[in-house]
Amino acid sequence: MTIVANVWSYLWGTLTVIPFLGFPIAYFLLYAWKRDKRLAGRWAINITNLLLIRSVVVAYSEIWPEAMSAWWWIACFYLVFISLLGWMQVRWKGKLSLRKIGFSAWRLSFLLFGLIYVVLITTGIVKTMSVV
């Protein structure tokens, strides 16, 4: 394995365990490249959201290896959440904007997956300590 591959695998592993570390890394890299704080902040949140989803899937599969894959839960969550947001938007505004629904679902999922990440990490620590 080359040095670059080693560095990449260690970085990817670290960001899987500590996904919130991806926010400052992405923010500073994008800000240094584009010199736009708003753009850097938006992209840092998006990248951190992807890292959170990955971390939740990995933590879920480590805590409950025999359970159904977390990817199914995430897909169902997005389908139900987007449907609910669409229904609410049509009910209140009378029209449907898929762009607004997608943006809202993505941003709210950042909060939800952040909370799920904390709960799963805490559950994993408690489960590991109770086994020993």
Q: What is the pLDDT along the chain (132 residues), one digit of tens a residue?
A: 688 888 888 989 999 999 999 999 999 999 999 999 999 999 999 999 999 999 999 999 999 989 888 999 999 999 999 999 999 999 999 899 999 999 999 999 999 999 999 999 999 999 988 875
Q: Is 89 helix (H, G, I), strand (E, B) or coil?
A: helix
Phi-psi region of 105 (alpha: psi -120 to 50; beta: other; left: phi over 0): alpha
Position 77, amino acid: F
86: number of Cβ within 10 Å? 16
Question: Looking at residue 1, what is its pLDDT?
Answer: 65
> Which uninterrupted H or E stretch holds 8?
helix 3-17
- Cβ-based burial of 26 (10 A; exposed 0-12, middle 13-18, buried ≥19): buried
